[in-house]
């Protein structure tokens, strides 16, 4: 189908509106070069705004849902590691408060999973995190962290967690499902996140 996985995309976009993207005059991705369409200015404008809001250098419009954005992010992490002779890294850390599609996206990307426990306050349990990193750090490709989490928590120790994963040559993906909660107030790259997805339909 048009959306292999992505509950919120199906929830927020009606079938009637999604059918419009199959019209040749609107279907500009991924087979057409945007430079050859009247949409170039719109896409460039949106790209620049997303770069400003995220602090990232590049924007990719290939994903049709948040979950497929997750898959694109994990594929990017995999490509980064393979390019830097870190092919052995195959573990993604997922908090038990992660967004529901994270595990499925991780499976599609062919990566293994270790769950991170949360404490009574809803933050990632640092003792559990440090134990996992001490034991598996050399094989940790990265982490997928919904920020703020599905519990509505802004993760007090996010920079510590990101820095420790970076120290082990891993990358940290920010699930942008709850991005509206920080939009305009916090720039993901300033916290150390390496990549994220945007649910533009939200």
Residues 120-173 have pLDDT tens digits of 999 999 999 999 999 999 999 999 999 988 888 888 899 999 999 999 999 999
DSSP single-letter state for residue 117: P
Cut 0.85: pTM above it: no
Spatial CA neighbour of 70 closest among 41, 40, 46, 92:
92
- Tell me whether residue 101 is exposed, middle or buried, using C-beta atoms within 10 angstroms of its C-beta: 0 to 12, 13 to 18, 19 or more: buried
DSSP for 140-164, written as a single string:
EEEEEEESS-TTS---TTHHHHHHH
* Six token digits for residue 162: 């990101």
What would the pLDDT profile of 34-84 be if each residue is shown by its tens digit?
A: 566 677 788 889 999 999 999 999 998 877 777 788 888 999 999 999 999
- Determine contact, residues 133/140, Cβ cutoff 8 Å: yes
Separation CA 53–CA 187 (nearest Å) = 6
Q: What is the pLDDT of residues 102-123, one digit of tens each?
A: 777 878 788 899 999 999 999 9
């Amino acid at each position: 189908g048009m959306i292999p996985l992505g509950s919120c995309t199906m929830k927020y976009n009606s079938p009637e509106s999604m059918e419009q993207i199959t019209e040749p005059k609107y279907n500009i991705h991924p087979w057409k070069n945007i430079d050859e369409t009247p949409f170039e200015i719109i896409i460039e404008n949106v790209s620049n705004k997303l770069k400003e809001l995220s602090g990232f250098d590049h924007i990719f419009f290939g994903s049709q849902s948040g979950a497929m954005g997750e898959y694109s992010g994990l594929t990017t992490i995999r490509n980064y590691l393979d390019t830097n002779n870190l092919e052995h890294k195959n573990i993604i850390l997922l908090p038990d408060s992660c967004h529901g599609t994270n595990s499925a996206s991780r499976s599609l990307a062919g990566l293994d999973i270790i769950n991170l426990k949360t404490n009574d306050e809803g933050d990632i349990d640092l003792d559990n995190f440090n134990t996992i990193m001490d034991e598996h750090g050399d094989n940790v490709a990265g982490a997928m962290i919904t920020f703020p989490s599905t519990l509505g928590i802004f993760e007090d120790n996010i920079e510590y967690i990101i820095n420790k994963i970076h120290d082990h040559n891993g990358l940290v993906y920010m699930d942008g499902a709850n991005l509206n909660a920080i939009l305009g107030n916090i720039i993901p790259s300033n916290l150390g996140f390496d990549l994220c997805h945007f649910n533009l339909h939200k």
